[in-house]
């Protein structure tokens, strides 16, 4: 008895932060487009293997002008192939900061691409419309200024080999722009950065209120001012955080990732604070 179990292989993956040039981004899109084209060809081949043609009419002593099983099979097969090809269409979607969205092929989307105004770009295949592709899914989302990981990949297929290959090829290209500091966007990373910033603020208050030679009135004023600055900082921390550590960034030629600069600023501030504490302690 034939098994009625239907299996689907899923290969999700995330990258917390990505930075690269527009050319790198376009190469990633080209990899996705090529995978879709190859998947379309393999699905057509599988359909033809599952639905072999009957013998042609010359070998069956059929009527001279028609052979119904053969001609019917050809018409059905041609229609099925058209449906499969129509169901396997690569698309790219570009969303800018005003939430305007443009969808089309790779060339037309990058003709409109502006690295200063983009917010999200998606490479995907609109699988659907035929039973041979209903289990397929390929979606690569690249987004900045988001609490989610900057790059999110979803690959699903009834063919485990293709799912693994698609995930591996896309991952290889995306990895070229993956940022090591992207762990900052993980829950543990955000807690770590917040802890460091709070420690710096606490140290600053300590320096101004304990080590400095101010009377209690001046110290009270300083503490009040610092408290107001901290409150304002908490209101702006989210904007500042995503500005310093974008989840996705398109770089100009020779430009470095903002995350690298952000870590440099924090490290410099931390070093300055440590030196200040050491100097005041020695005094």
Is-contact 244 14, C-beta < 8 A? no
User: Quick one: which H or E segment has residue 141?
Assistant: strand 137-143
Question: What are the structural domain ranges in the chain?
Answer: 10-178, 182-282
Summarised one tens digit per residue, pLDDT across range 130-163 is 676 767 889 999 998 777 888 999 998 888 888 8
Which tokens sit at 56? 């042609």
**How high is the pLDDT of residue 281?**
65
Q: What gap in Å lies between CA 138 and CA 72, rounded to an integer?
A: 34
pTM more than 0.95: no
The secondary structure of residue 178, as a DSSP letter, is: B
**How high is the pLDDT of residue 63?**
46
**How high is the pLDDT of residue 56?**
57
User: Quick one: which H or E segment has residue 248?
Assistant: strand 248-250
**How high is the pLDDT of residue 84?**
81
Return all residues near 89 (Cβ < 8 A) that are at least 6 apart. 36, 125, 126
Q: What gap in Å lies between CA 89 and CA 91, rounded to an integer?
A: 6
Average pLDDT of the chain, as a whole number: 77
The secondary structure of residue 209, as a DSSP letter, is: I
**How high is the pLDDT of residue 168?**
94
For the chain, which residues score pLDDT lower than 50?
Answer: 1-3, 59-65
């Amino acid at each position: 008895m034939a098994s009625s179990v239907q299996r689907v292989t899923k290969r999700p993956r995330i990258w917390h932060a990505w930075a690269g040039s527009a050319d790198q981004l376009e190469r990633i899109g080209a990899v996705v487009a090529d995978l879709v084209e190859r998947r379309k060809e393999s699905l057509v081949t599988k359909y033809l293997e599952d639905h072999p043609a009957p013998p042609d009419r010359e070998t069956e002593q059929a009527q001279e002008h028609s052979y119904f099983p053969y001609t019917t099979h050809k018409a059905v097969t041609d229609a099925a192939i058209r449906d499969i090809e129509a169901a396997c269409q690569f698309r790219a979607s570009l969303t800018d900061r005003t939430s305007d969205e443009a969808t089309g092929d790779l060339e037309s989307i990058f003709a409109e691409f502006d690295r200063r105004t983009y917010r999200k770009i998606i490479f995907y295949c609109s699988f659907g419309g035929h039973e041979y592709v209903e289990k397929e899914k390929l979606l690569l989302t690249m987004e900045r200024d988001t609490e989610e990981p900057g790059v999110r990949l979803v690959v699903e297929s009834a063919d485990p080999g293709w799912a693994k290959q698609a995930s591996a090829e896309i991952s290889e290209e995306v990895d070229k722009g993956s940022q090591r500091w992207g762990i900052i966007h993980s829950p543990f990373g955000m807690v770590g950065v917040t802890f460091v910033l709070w420690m710096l603020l606490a140290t600053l208050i300590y320096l101004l209120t304990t080590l400095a030679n101010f009377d209690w009135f001046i110290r009270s004023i300083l503490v009040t001012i610092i408290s107001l600055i901290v409150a304002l900082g908490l209101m702006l921390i989210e904007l500042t955080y995503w500005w310093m550590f974008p989840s996705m960034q398109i770089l100009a030629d020779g430009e470095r990732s903002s995350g690298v600069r952000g870590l440099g600023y924090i490290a410099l501030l931390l070093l300055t604070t440590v030196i200040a504490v050491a100097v005041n302690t020695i005094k």
